[in-house]
Structure 1
Amino acid sequence: MATAFSDNEKVLIRQKLKEVTYDCLLKYGVRKTTVDQIIRMTGISKGSFYNFYDSKEILFFTVLEEYQKSIIDELNSKLRKKDNIGVDEFTELIYNLYQNVRSSFIMNIIQNEEFEFLMRKLPKEFIINHHSLDDLLTKEIFSYIKVKDNVDVDIVSASLRAIFMSMIHIEEIGEKNFDDALKLLIRGLDQQIVKEDNDD
């Protein structure tokens, strides 16, 4: 029988579960991280774990989404402090955000070809909701820049996702030129989006 926790304990345990999971995903990846590892490092029973999350994949996805929100919040914080952001500056900000991702646990998942595996293990509504979150976050970012007329934010959000997914194929694209190619793709997209003061 699972232990009953106070509301404060639930908050602390949920936070600990996410911290442990982040570390495990960074070290071991999706397939090699087990519920047994997580509960041992967190200090709760398996029954208690399933009171918090229906599966380890949902916990993984929660950690992934929270990380995504944190880097978007960081980007928004930088955007708030700037006026009249042009293509070059916006390209650098997005490029640096992607580089931040490359040094995170997400890259371990991508390099081990586990991202698609994780997506397949999740309920369909999680994927749909995640894409909705991407769109909302993109709209929030766009509130800080001048956007060209007739730009469809949903298409831009999908384009940013497509560029992000290119990191799954670094080896095929060529590691030597990948960073330059990534920046070129981002800049090309930004030129279609950002309205600069000298634009007609």
Structure 2
Amino acid sequence: MRGFSDEERDRIRANLRSVGRRQFTKFGLEKTTVSDLTEDLSIGRSTFYRFYDSKEELYLELLEAEGEAVAERMAAEGIGQGEDPEAVVKDFLEFIFQEIESNNLLRAVLIEDELDRLRESRTEAERKADRQEDIAVIRSFIDPFIEAGRLHGTDPTLVARSIAAIPYLSLHEADIGEDHYPEVRDFVIETFARGLAVEDGSTGTEGSR
């Protein structure tokens, strides 16, 4: 079996990523087969496995690239910046919900219940690293507020995990009802952000609440 030139490898990988994004977004991870990914490109399954060990690996590569793009959009929009802790937390949550609800690939992961399947393809160490990375993003903008006593709670990791938990509300859109979900989402974001921020004269510790 002949090898590929660097140019050919780059082209095939780019094509697999493009087809993978389209297939995963439309059909989800479980219903997409390796054959679905290769037929459009007129390559064999054996060629696919020269680039990826599994379709899950391709999916995770796409998600990683999407995560980098989301981080760039956050920076461009100034998310996580500002002097008002309530506004910063509120803006962050609104941004994340907007990404989940408008980004078809991210929505497919969360809403279409692909999380369990993806978790199974990752080691515990890899899953822990993913969680730590997500928490680190949030801590980058909440730690100064906590140190200044402007957010309730003294454990920044706990506060960050609590913020990270809010977007999982999107998993329950069907349970809440499509007609009511936007109003419930907005109410939860506003109430959580307001409750997390310390009012003037408060210390931000648990005992001050």
- C-alpha distance 130-43 of structure 1, shift in aligned 2 (>3 A): farther
Relative contact order, CA 8 A, sep 6+: which one is greater? 1
User: Residue type of the partner of 2:131?
Assistant: H
Structure 2 runs not aligned, ≥5 long: 148-152, 203-209
Q: Is the 8 A contact 2:173 2:181 kept in 1?
A: yes
Shift of 1:170: 1.5
**Aligned equivalent of 1:126:** 126
**Aligned equivalent of 1:185:** 188
**Aligned equivalent of 2:50:** 51
**Aligned equivalent of 1:147:** 145
User: Could you tell me how far apart the structure 1 residues matched to 2:15 and 2:129 are?
Assistant: 24
Corresponding residue to 1:172 among 150, 170, 175 = 175
Structure 1 runs not aligned, ≥5 long: none
User: Could you tell me how far apart the structure 2 residues matched to 1:63 and 1:91 are?
Assistant: 28
Q: Is the 8 A contact 2:63 2:106 kept in 1?
A: yes
Shift of 1:188: 4.2
**Aligned equivalent of 1:24:** 23
Moved more, 100-109 or 50-59: 100-109
User: Could you tell me how far apart the structure 1 residues matched to 2:80 and 2:120 are?
Assistant: 39
- C-alpha distance 46-40 of structure 1, shift in aligned 2 (>3 A): same
- C-alpha distance 18-161 of structure 1, shift in aligned 2 (>3 A): farther
User: Could you tell me how far apart the structure 1 residues matched to 2:7 and 2:144 are?
Assistant: 43
Equivalent residue pairs, number: 196
- C-alpha distance 169-51 of structure 1, shift in aligned 2 (>3 A): same
- C-alpha distance 148-136 of structure 1, shift in aligned 2 (>3 A): closer
Could you tell me the percent identity over the aligned residues? 22
**Aligned equivalent of 1:37:** 36
- C-alpha distance 139-61 of structure 1, shift in aligned 2 (>3 A): same
CA RMSD of aligned residues (A): 3.1
Shift of 1:26: 1.4
User: Residue type of the partner of 1:77?
Assistant: A
User: Could you tell me how far apart the structure 1 residues matched to 2:185 and 2:114 are?
Assistant: 21
User: Could you tell me how far apart the structure 2 residues matched to 1:60 and 1:158 are?
Assistant: 25
Larger radius of gyration: 2
TM-score (norm 1): 0.77
User: Residue type of the partner of 1:148?
Assistant: I
Q: Is the 8 A contact 1:147 1:193 kept in 2?
A: no
User: Could you tell me how far apart the structure 1 residues matched to 2:181 and 2:83 are?
Assistant: 29
- Mapping for residues 65-104 of structure 1, pairs under 5 Å: 65-79=64-78, 83-88=82-87, 90-103=89-102, 104=104
Deviations 1:125-159 (A, max 9, x none): 3322221221233244x18x952326544324422
- C-alpha distance 16-138 of structure 1, shift in aligned 2 (>3 A): farther
Moved more, 16-25 or 118-127: 118-127
Shift of 1:73: 1.8
Partner-residue secondary structure (3-state), 1:113 = coil
User: Residue type of the partner of 2:188?
Assistant: L
